[in-house]
Chains A and B, each alone.
Chain A
Amino acid sequence: MRDKILYGMGVVAILLLARDVYKIASFPPEAAQGAIFKIIFFHVPAAWTAMVAAGTALVSSILFLMKKDFKYDAIAVAATEVGLAFLAINLVTGSIWGHVIWGIWWTWDVRLTSALVCWLLYAGYLMLRHAIEEPTQRATFAAVFSIFAFLDVPIVYFSIRLFRTQHPGPVFLSSNGSFPPDWTMVLLWNWIALLMLGIVIMLVRLGHEETQREIDYVRRMAHAL
């Protein structure tokens, strides 16, 4: 049953993406920046998806600490990994755009910098998990770290923005003109497609976590005998 949902969602997501790409290709290029501006259709929804993933990880971590049920721990790690992947897409698309427009791979733009710091933050979560052997301790410590990390996200964004207002620099991927409404529609549809892809990946990862726990259990049983 779960597999059917997975495949179904995956197919729908891919179809949506295909349709969106077709539509995007048919839009006229943006006045000032040319075709590369269309990368925004992936750049922005990727960030939004990452934010949803971070929120999911937070809720799941809190639920684990309250209920001690490992399925919440599995959701937390799966959501964080998905979030990291989409955040990486955000970073890379931003960087590509910068290179095409200005010839530089990076400039410490507010959103990109915030995204980078958050990426490092959540990468730390995965590193912490990797370093703790015992499953219950790993889940508990990771949950605490996840809560700390999420609290930091708004502060990071706010403080970097404050810094940039005092020390202005180039801004990546802003539209000088207004964003046409039919473009907004496609942007949103793209977000839905990316969200669905994210959920599919997460569900696959959840299955993997369950299998891993079973293996761990069997290994401990074997050692005890």
Chain B
Amino acid sequence: MTAVTVDGVWKFYGDYPALRDVRLEVDSGACLALIGRNGAGKTTLLRTIAGFSKPGKGAIRIFGKEPRETETRQHIGVIGHGIAVYDELSAFENLMLYARLYGLADPKRAALDWLEQTGLERVRDGLVREFSRGMRQRLAVARAFLHEPSVLLLDEPFTALDDRAIAVLQRLLREALANGKTVIMSTHQLREALELSSHVAMLNRGQVAFHGACTAEMVADPGWVYARYGEG
């Protein structure tokens, strides 16, 4: 079944169209790698799907519903450019906060569980501002996966991750996909992303230039799509 439908979406900044007539369907259990040059509209598209801003024209459906509906938001997990955790709070406090916001029945257990999954159980009471960069990234991952979202929207998740964090994220994504979750991730790290992806979409100046299954050819030569469908 279709998890995410992007139906003729346009997004304007003033009169300028950052997204033009984007049409995409992502099936449940699929992993879509969203690629394109800087400024092509990947972040804008992800943010619109996540419900951070409304499309100027067109519609987004997640399991048939609007992204902004409270129900839908329960099932979306987002990793953006920022880690979205509070520097002044501890790792545990941060996860407890989000567990409560997402209405988890046992927030404490969920928080401790995910601290373990991301290898942060020993620093659970440390303040985030004292964490190393890799630790902060892993906490961001824990935060996004905490409420077991069915749809994961990741904006360049592998950028600036250290090796340990990359390994954690790849493992979690593989598990999530095996459990039937849907992943859309924008990326410049083509190899890590294409290994996990079932589909690839390329954006060029706000339009979908290519959308199809991820082939062995693409994984072997990540630049293939750009060469074939990109511009210069």
A–B contact, 8 Å CB criterion (strictly below): yes
Query: Of A56-64, A91-99, A157-165, A210-218, which stretch is located at the interface?
Result: A210-218
Mask, A187-225, CB within 8 Å of B = 1, is 000000000000000000000000001101100110110
Among A66-93, those with CB < 8 Å from B are: 68, 70
Which of these, B14, B39, B205, contacts A70 with CB under 8 Å?
B14
Give Cα A214–Cα B14 distance, bound, in whole angstroms: 9
Partner of A134, one of B13, B39, B56, B205: B13
Please state if B15 and A214 are interface contacts (CB–CB under 8 Å): yes
Q: Is the interface of A mostly helix, strand, loop or mixed?
A: helix
A134 to B14, CA, bound (A): 7
A interface residues, how many (CB within 8 angstroms)? 13
Chain B interface, number of residues (Cβ within 8 angstroms): 8
Please give, as numbers and ranges, the residues of chain A lying within 8 Å of B205 by CB-CB distance.
224
- B14→A217 contact, CB < 8 A: yes
Bound complex: CA A125 to CA B12 (Å): 23
Q: Is the CB of B39 within 8 A of A136?
A: no
- What chain A residues lie within 8 Å of B39 (beta carbons)? 223-224
* Docked CA distance A186–B167 (Å): 82
With A224-B39, A224-B205 in contact, is A216–B14 under 8 Å at CB? yes
Taking the complex as formed, is A135 at the interface, i.e. its CB lies under 8 A from any CB of chain B?
A: yes
Q: In the complex, what distance in Å separates the CA atom of A214 from the CA atom of B16?
A: 9
B15 and A217 contacting across the interface, CB-CB below 8 Å: yes
Known: A135-B13, A220-B14. 11 other contacts (CB 8 A): A70-B14, A134-B13, A134-B14, A135-B14, A136-B14, A214-B15, A216-B14, A216-B15, A220-B13, A220-B16, A224-B16
Residues of A with Cβ closer than 8 Å to B? 68, 70, 134-136, 213-214, 216-217, 220-221, 223-224
Task: List the 9 closest pairs (A to B, CB-CB), nearest first.
Answer: A135-B14, A220-B16, A217-B15, A217-B16, A216-B14, A213-B15, A134-B13, A224-B39, A213-B14
